[in-house]
Structure 1
Amino acid sequence: NSSMPTATQDTTYTYDQNGRLLTETTGGLVTSYEYNNAGLVTKKTNKVGDVEPGSVYGGVSDFSTHTYYTNGNMMSKFSQAELCETSYTYDGAGRLTLEFFQSSGPDYQTIYQYDASGNRSRQTYIFDPYNETNDLFTTVTEYTYDANNRLTSVTTGTDTLSYTYDNNGNMLSESNGKTYSYNVLNQLVTFVNGEYTTTYTYLPNGLRASKTMGNDQNHLHSDFVWDGDDLVYEYVRNMYYYPPLDNCIVYNYGNGLISQSNTETNEYILFTKNTHGDVSDMLNASSTTLAVFAEKEFDAFGNGGSTGYSAMGYAGQYHDYETGFIYLRARYYSPAVGRFINEDPIRDGLNWYVYCGNNPVNYTDSTGLDEDLDKYVNDNYSGKVTVTIAASRPVENSRIAVNLDTMDVGHTFVRIDYGDGRVIYRGFYPANTLSTDEILTKTNVDGIVVDDATHDWNAAVTYEITVEQADDMVSFIDNYDSEYNMVTNNCTTFGAKVLESGGVEVPTSEHKWTLPANAKQMVVDYLPSEKLFKGVVANYLISGLYGYSPADAVQDFKNSPQHVLKYGGSTYVASNKHK
């Protein structure tokens, strides 16, 4: 397409012997990293050419430093460019309780308190405009919830904002007149704010396809194109002008979001990011001299950062300025209240609305779903290259391969983490739902490899590997073109083959499948009434079920010293990993 922007630059990376990212180079911008013994980033430097950090006004030579508590939570970060330091305090549950911003100008601190269910109950904002403790301005905000952890009101001083919900836990309205509506999949489809209406559509895989703001005659329409979970193209038509203005925004990725280019303005914008993945500076890379022309700054929960130059911001994610929400694939996140606007679709844990367990400084959630596996790997292998194989079982604490009440067979998937922000989840499925005949006759069918970041799990095993091993596994996945077979080439078989492709020992093996006691009778009942020797035929059909299975995988994983267990119904993750 001749209208697509072409002003892009290659990005190159270097790594140390532990697979940790050392440098990232795009054009004239070099970003370098230093680490402590735990693999946590202690210093991040952006540098252009030989310019020393901080020596050029408006340039991009600067650095930030970071300190940590012994449990890995960030204690403080210092920005040389802004000459400011932010420190953090947490409670025993790892929840952020204090964010303290200090600079040569005004200081502020935000204190967070929580109820027994993990909901934010009070926020105290203390602003010190003159760096004098006798001139403090304090604002207290109180939050109330119903029995289902739905936010019902936010009160600041004498002002109260109330919320209503539908029976599925989706936020329907705010007392300021804003309203929301959803489809049968609980996806936000309409937002109304006074005379302005925004509509959203979605692809079959759940990702957003488009949004339209305005009315039939005058509106701003965006179509979105995805590569996996990454937004790569945004086609924008502005109908407020005649003739309409068209723009194609291209988002480029490597170690996270790198840049964007626009056809309408012929701009190529290079991003710098902090260690959380937030877009911090925007550089005019179309110019012969790299220089910062816009900045974004976010608090711990993602508030702030407003600028019209790019929709990308907090954690490198897309911001909808019409709602103030951040689009996180499965759900929309509201940084104003630090929570999602509707329930977790997989209903993980006890509270289905909180964001990152109220520890947004150290974790991100790009899917709006369960972050436990990410948390476990980040806690135990931060900055290291790893592969994780995870599985869910169909029957609690059992090797029974199929739950005949729900027809669930469990699932196995893999997670490859380069330790630099690049994380790949993949699982193998039949391309179409298996028929009973295909199940009983163990028929080969078309298979499909999909992004599996949303699947629940019961047990997992993580291995530390090299970049080369990770590359071999990713190459194997990208070229995997096999038929699916429920017994001989299923999701667990796929996971085992991925590990083998990188030379990693598989922590499970093939077994004779354990079936429920009533499996034979169910097969007999399914066979046609005129079928002779139905019992013999049933025995034949359910015999020879030998191979990998998610149920066996979960039980086998427990024998690995690197295993981790996720306790169902809770976000608590218990590990017996040997450090």
Structure 2
Amino acid sequence: MNGLPLNRTNALGHTFAYAYDKARRLTVLTNENGETYRLDYDQTDNLIQETGWDGKITAYGYDAAGQLVQQTEYGQSNNESRLKERPETWHIHHFKRNILGQLIEKQSRKVSDRNGQSKDEGISRTRFEYDPITGNLTKARNQHSSVELAYDELDRLIGETTVHNGQSATVGYQYDPLGNRIRTILPDGRPIDYLYYGSGHLHQISLDGEVVSDIERDKLHREIKRTQGSISSLYDYDPMGRLKSQRTVWSSAQTLHGKQNPLAGGAVNRRYAYDKAGNLIQSADQRSGVLNYIYDKIGRIQEARNSQTGRSETFAFDPAHNILSDKAAEGKGGNLVSGNRLKEYNGIEYTYDALGNLIYRQLPNGENQYYQYDLENQLVRAEIKKPAGNTEIWTYAYDPFGRRLSKERQDKLAWTSTDPKRTHFVWDGTRLLQEYTYKGSYTYIYTDQDSYEPLAQIFDNAKDGKQYLAYFHNDQIGIPREMTDIHGNLLWYGEYTAWGRLKKDECVYRNAHQPFRLQNQYFDEETGLHYNLMRYYEPEAGRFVNQDPIGLLGGDNLYRFAPNTQEWIDPWGLVKLGGVAPYGSKKHVGDNLDAHEMLRNAFLKDSPLTTITNRQGAKGNPAMGLTKDLHRAVHDAEARLRAAKGMGRNDYFKRGKDEIRIMYRAMQEVLVENKKVITQNQLRQMRKQAIKFAKKHKCY
């Protein structure tokens, strides 16, 4: 098997192995726990069956053109005769396509066993329509909603209308000639406007003509000052471009009005320190104190200790990256998690269905939570049995793209509570734009059009008809730590565990509403889970409640979030943003991210130093998963750097080391310093892989 990897061994000595058939197709993976994941193919190399680490079987069927037309999730048995012994539910999905191969319908049905007899238990359909000329998706609908999409002559999205439960919401978009989004139009017609520098970097955000925030940058285009009402947030960076400190001060030009609390103006004061590998090793905060972080040799969080209180969180993992309870870590129980299905963690018990979805969680206080899922493995019902004996029932609905549209409490006691019984959500792409309850509406503005870090919240109070503006203050990874009002008064602050659970918060203003946790995670108070777009995150154990919808494309452990939450983000609940995989790898297929190479494939094809003549020849070139906007922003930064050297956008250096150097600088400017979506350490690791690839092809 010349050139094919047979195993990889990490710094802890744990080995992950690969096996192939005679046709050089990957057939068996063996993880660090010694468990296997099997892949079977037909004679035309189509993948026809996967058997997961936990024994879950998924089968695929194709038409004569090789297009996927059926997917069956069997659970742990694909033999009907065996269902008498082990009753299970199967999900069968059928795909219909138009003449261009575009998906026009997905029909899903649930088949379950009753006394050894298969029985249909429900069908759902999702349909898609396209523009016959441009091929753009124009409409999608499922049993809960419909979404219509409109585009301009450059195929840019200019409108999205969602209809759910008889309510319609339209969000509009406008762009400048460079493709920057300059306006978002809310369903009620109010505009959010964005003003950019000539360099293309965001300078100002306003709502309905009123400035929300002004942004100042240094010569490297890094944000160094952000106005947030009567105060300003200041940011300093270390020589590697990492956030070193952040603090708030009074804005000198502001005239202060309104009642101020003692912390106004100085609501935020934090410092950060990193090790040579780029890991955050210390965070010093004026309220929570100094937190020190320790990692193992492969970057997994081992300990978070508060220097003032002496309190600490400690963590241990099995070789396949499953978190272990304290007892297991001490050798008092099993120290391997079977099939990556965690059954117990520090007093919390977990139970899964045959498809790997978490269906039961028992908390240490005696609370029992039961979960139900639809045919897309989306959480649609939660039944919470409280220790006091009362029961809450919540239901959830989603649009055709998997975005949550509503959550509603439906038990008999729902109307005796003063909390919202129903919340309706409006989306800006994959970011939460608005939420509506009987109290009014909340509108969210983010730090950038590509960012998932919240900047401001506008609350339109249904009770008094007034509008209230509040600001978020986020830490180095984008988690909100404080909220302030327009006068700089502290409204809310919180402290988190190492895995992103809010362990302590203080509502200085009792009506403050802060639902965000890790980037693009929304906290559900009823369950304690975090809605993370495509999945739900369980913050006690730092894992997702079900398997990754994109399977192995999102990582080897299908429940894993990341090695730690101090360095990694996963805004979609799929592949970690900034994850690196070889060009041509399936790692970036299906994740809606563009593959961006540090060593451009066009250079490899054109360089006289290599024998690469086409994109297929560049297979294996390290590529990072980026959103389309981030991908474009990096190439724009690259073009400016080339222009400074008298080069055109598609002119290249003779040697790969110079190409890597200029792309590294462009990616650092956009992804590390400005957007803050990856860390310096992640970028350096990608550079190492790019250098290795260039040397292999003798073009470094």
Equivalence for 2:70: none
Is contact 1:144-1:153 (8 Å) kept?
no
Question: Per the alignment, in what secondary structure is the counterpart of residue 246 of structure 2?
Answer: strand
Is contact 2:580-2:624 (8 Å) kept?
no
Is contact 1:311-1:320 (8 Å) kept?
no
Is contact 2:360-2:368 (8 Å) kept?
yes
Equivalence for 1:261: 458
Q: Are residues 469 and 230 of structure 1, via their aligned partners in 2, closer, same or farther at CA, if it must alter by over 3 Å?
A: closer
What aligned pairs does 1:62-461 form with structure 2 within 5 A after superposition? Answer: 62-79=268-285, 81-82=286-287, 84-103=289-308, 106-123=309-326, 146-156=337-347, 161-175=348-362, 176-194=367-385, 195-215=391-411, 218=415, 220-237=421-438, 246-255=439-448, 256-264=453-461, 266=466, 267-285=468-486, 289-303=487-501, 304-306=503-505, 309-316=512-519, 317-347=521-551, 348-357=554-563, 359-371=564-576, 374-375=578-579, 392=584, 413=594, 459-460=622-623
Is contact 1:391-1:458 (8 Å) kept?
yes
Matched to 1:350, the amino acid is: D
Aligned length: 395
Is contact 1:279-1:312 (8 Å) kept?
no
1:175-218: CA deviations, max 9, x gaps?
Answer: 44310010111110000012211111101111111110134873
Equivalence for 1:576: 689
Q: Are residues 101 and 222 of structure 1, via their aligned partners in 2, closer, same or farther at CA, if it must alter by over 3 Å?
A: same
Greater CA deviation, 18-27 or 86-95?
Answer: 18-27
Matched, 1:47 2:252: no
Equivalence for 2:217: 15
Matched to 1:328, the amino acid is: N
Matched to 1:413, the amino acid is: D
Question: Per the alignment, in what secondary structure is the counterpart of residue 365 of structure 1?
Answer: coil
CA distance in 2: counterparts of 1:412 and 1:33, whole angstroms: 29
Q: Are residues 37 and 471 of structure 1, via their aligned partners in 2, closer, same or farther at CA, if it must alter by over 3 Å?
A: closer
Q: Are residues 13 and 415 of structure 1, via their aligned partners in 2, closer, same or farther at CA, if it must alter by over 3 Å?
A: farther
Is contact 2:597-2:622 (8 Å) kept?
no
CA distance in 2: counterparts of 1:290 and 1:409, whole angstroms: 43
Q: Are residues 148 and 300 of structure 1, via their aligned partners in 2, closer, same or farther at CA, if it must alter by over 3 Å?
A: same
Equivalence for 1:510: none
Shift of 1:577: 3.2
Q: Are residues 302 and 506 of structure 1, via their aligned partners in 2, closer, same or farther at CA, if it must alter by over 3 Å?
A: farther
Is contact 1:363-1:375 (8 Å) kept?
no
CA distance in 1: counterparts of 2:586 and 2:237, whole angstroms: 41
1:38-78: CA deviations, max 9, x gaps?
Answer: 11111112212359xxx983213242111110010011011
1:478-524: CA deviations, max 9, x gaps?
Answer: xxxxxxxxxxxxxxxxxxxxxxxx964399xxxxxxxxxxxxxxxxx
1:100-147: CA deviations, max 9, x gaps?
Answer: 1123xx3311111111111111349xxxxxxxxxxxxxx999887652
Matched to 2:237, the amino acid is: Y
Question: Per the alignment, in what secondary structure is the counterpart of residue 315 of structure 1?
Answer: coil
Is contact 1:211-1:222 (8 Å) kept?
yes
Is contact 1:122-1:140 (8 Å) kept?
no
Matched to 2:594, the amino acid is: F
Q: For structure 2, which runs of at least 5 residues remain unmatched after alignment?
A: 1-186, 191-206, 254-259, 386-390, 599-619, 638-646, 665-684, 693-700
Is contact 1:3-1:248 (8 Å) kept?
no
Question: Per the alignment, in what secondary structure is the counterpart of residue 496 of structure 2?
Answer: coil
Is contact 1:99-1:110 (8 Å) kept?
yes
CA distance in 1: counterparts of 2:326 and 2:523, whole angstroms: 23
1:353-403: CA deviations, max 9, x gaps?
Answer: 12212x1111121111111x51559xxxxxxxxxxxx9546899xxxxxxx
Question: Per the alignment, in what secondary structure is the counterpart of residue 578 of structure 2?
Answer: helix
CA distance in 1: counterparts of 2:633 and 2:377, whole angstroms: 36
CA distance in 1: counterparts of 2:447 and 2:319, whole angstroms: 40
Is contact 2:657-2:691 (8 Å) kept?
no
Equivalence for 2:227: 25
CA distance in 1: counterparts of 2:284 and 2:469, whole angstroms: 29
Q: Are residues 392 and 577 of structure 1, via their aligned partners in 2, closer, same or farther at CA, if it must alter by over 3 Å?
A: closer
Q: Are residues 394 and 107 of structure 1, via their aligned partners in 2, closer, same or farther at CA, if it must alter by over 3 Å?
A: closer
Is contact 1:145-1:153 (8 Å) kept?
no
CA distance in 1: counterparts of 2:373 and 2:326, whole angstroms: 30
Matched to 2:434, the amino acid is: Y
Q: Are residues 280 and 141 of structure 1, via their aligned partners in 2, closer, same or farther at CA, if it must alter by over 3 Å?
A: farther
Shift of 1:411: 9.2
Question: Per the alignment, in what secondary structure is the counterpart of residue 324 of structure 2?
Answer: strand
CA distance in 2: counterparts of 1:163 and 1:559, whole angstroms: 52
Shift of 1:576: 2.7
Q: CA RMSD for the aligned pairs? A: 4.4
Matched to 2:213, the amino acid is: T
Is contact 2:597-2:621 (8 Å) kept?
no
Q: Are residues 25 and 391 of structure 1, via their aligned partners in 2, closer, same or farther at CA, if it must alter by over 3 Å?
A: farther
Q: Are residues 334 and 140 of structure 1, via their aligned partners in 2, closer, same or farther at CA, if it must alter by over 3 Å?
A: farther
Q: Are residues 204 and 108 of structure 1, via their aligned partners in 2, closer, same or farther at CA, if it must alter by over 3 Å?
A: same
CA distance in 2: counterparts of 1:115 and 1:331, whole angstroms: 23
Is contact 1:142-1:155 (8 Å) kept?
no
Q: Are residues 299 and 410 of structure 1, via their aligned partners in 2, closer, same or farther at CA, if it must alter by over 3 Å?
A: closer
Is contact 1:259-1:269 (8 Å) kept?
yes
Question: Per the alignment, in what secondary structure is the counterpart of residue 576 of structure 1?
Answer: helix
Is contact 1:392-1:410 (8 Å) kept?
no
CA distance in 2: counterparts of 1:503 and 1:190, whole angstroms: 56
CA distance in 1: counterparts of 2:358 and 2:590, whole angstroms: 34
Matched to 1:77, the amino acid is: S
1:418-471: CA deviations, max 9, x gaps?
Answer: xxxxxxxxxxxxxxxxxxxxxxxxxxxxxxxxxxxxxxx9842799xxx99839
Q: Are residues 140 and 409 of structure 1, via their aligned partners in 2, closer, same or farther at CA, if it must alter by over 3 Å?
A: closer
Q: Are residues 323 and 409 of structure 1, via their aligned partners in 2, closer, same or farther at CA, if it must alter by over 3 Å?
A: closer
Q: Are residues 413 and 32 of structure 1, via their aligned partners in 2, closer, same or farther at CA, if it must alter by over 3 Å?
A: same
Q: Are residues 17 and 394 of structure 1, via their aligned partners in 2, closer, same or farther at CA, if it must alter by over 3 Å?
A: same
Is contact 2:325-2:345 (8 Å) kept?
no
Q: Are residues 504 and 74 of structure 1, via their aligned partners in 2, closer, same or farther at CA, if it must alter by over 3 Å?
A: farther
Question: Per the alignment, in what secondary structure is the counterpart of residue 499 of structure 2?
Answer: coil
